[in-house]
Structure 1
Amino acid sequence: MFAGHFGVAAVVKSKAPELPLWSLLVSSQLLDIAFVPFSLAGEESIEPLGDGGYANAMIYAFYTHSFIGALVLSIIAAYLAGVFWGKKSAVITGAVVFSHWILDLIVHRPDMPIFPGNVGDFPLLGFGLWESVSASFLLEFLLISAGSFFYFRHALQSADPERRGKGIAAGCAMTTFLFLSLFINAFM
């Protein structure tokens, strides 16, 4: 669902223009970015189900995608954002990071633990929207559509009349990026 996470970042950018776009895009994907070194170390993995494809995987991200792990990553990101951009930006950044976990909770099969490493062996979390490819694709489409709409509107409203062309270009670039990420996520 990485495209949907980007859609959230685009919506937030339209409401918090003081934050750099790159920081919101990274924040929306921080759990997956942190997954990479854990995966390389053999601590987390992705197991294809069936033929693979869109949402056809069990993700064993017992550290980065645990509830507590996501909270810790959110707090670290919030702290760093606070150092660079202030308290309001810290709260926003932390919320964007944690939004990743919330969206993953909706789409993942039950593969997300509460505690890192699944300490306590509690039931794994995940509502399993991925079981319906069309429903999960629709959710992601709605998220990137909202991101495109709000970002485009913000880009047009914040541009001076003589720089309106730059606002249109920025809106088009973000819309292209979001829909391209959905296409890559769904069909590659």
Structure 2
Amino acid sequence: MFLGHTAAALAGKRAAPRTSFGILLGAAIFLDLLWPVFLLLGWERVRIDPGNTAFTPLDFVSYPISHSLVAALGWSVLAGGVYYAVTRYGFGAWTVGCLVLSHWVLDWLTHRPDLPLWPGSAKVGLGMWHSLPLTLAVELLLFAVGLLIYLGTTRARDGVGRWVFWALMAFYLIVYAANTFGPPPPDVRTVAWMTLAMWLLPLWGWWADAHREVTPQIPQTAFGAVPRPAG
């Protein structure tokens, strides 16, 4: 759920306004950042299978380290813990951890039954990808809602904050359309290397967010207003 994960990160800015959107985006797609690394190492497997679902030609044969539920829980605790150790921002740490785990939940909605609960377990998935119209409707709706929440939480301080952010959103839509309606990738290695490029997206999000500010009416925690820190 490419746009759905981004939507979760955009909405996460409302829960943790002091956390960079780049960090939130990295958390939301963290499992997919790990996946191509494990593919190249030979620890996880995928195959090109056009028609596997209506939405994607990829058959996710085995990815228990990056995408099992138990692994996702572990990665979420690790990510939230590291973030808290560095920043001491509790709401940010909880949001980061929840975003990592949200990736598995959203994948569970979209994937056919290929997500393990733990390595070697039965596999689950509700299979929304079997319907292209439903997938497009749900993902675009989530993306729009997440975008509205983010825009209601922040505002641009300068042209970079405005145009770099919108360029990122446009890039997401272009890539989503290309992946949805374009030809299948030629081989698994190409899939891995193309997916590795996703590591640049959190940096792009961080750059845009660094030139935006939280709107004055937004509290600095999810549960109440506190004074905004100086600077």
Structure with greater helix share of residues: 1
1:14, distance to aligned residue in structure 2 (A): 2.9
The alpha carbon displacement at 1:48 in A equals: 2.4
Let me know the Cα RMSD of the aligned residues. 2.2
The one-letter code sitting in structure 2 at the alignment partner of 1:42 is G
Alignment of 1:110 onto 2:109: no
The answer on whether the counterparts of 1:151 and 1:171 sit within 8 Å (CA) in structure 2 is no
Q: 1:176 deviation in Å?
A: 4.3
- Structure 1 residue 179 displacement after superposition: 4.3
Identity %: 28
Report the counterpart of residue 64 of structure 1 in structure 2.
66
Q: Which amino acid aligns with 1:46?
A: V
1:71-150 pair list within 5 angstroms = 71-86=73-88, 87-116=90-119, 118=120, 122-150=121-149
Cα drift, residue 22 of structure 1? 1.1
Which of 168, 181, 184 in structure 2 is aligned with 1:177?
168
Q: 1:108–1:2: structure 2 CA closer, same or farther, 3 Å change rule? A: same
Q: Give 1:49's aligned amino acid.
A: D
Offset at residue 186 of structure 1 (A): 3.1
Runs of 4+ in 1 over 6 A off after TM superposition: none
How far apart are the structure 2 equivalents of 1:110 and 1:88? 33
- Asked whether the 8 Å contact 1:6–1:178 carries over to 2, the reply is no
What is the alpha-carbon distance in structure 2 between the residues aligned to residue 179 and residue 147 of structure 1? Answer: 14
**8 Å Cα contact 2:8/2:99 also seen in 1:** yes
Distance apart, 1:79 and its partner CA? 0.6
Moved more, 97-106 or 33-42: 33-42
Structure 2: gaps (5+ residues): 180-231
TM-score, with structure 1 as normaliser: 0.83
Where structure 1 has 5 or more consecutive residues not aligned to the other structure, the ranges are none
State the 1:185 CA deviation: 2.3
With the length of structure 2 as denominator, give the TM-score of the two structures: 0.69
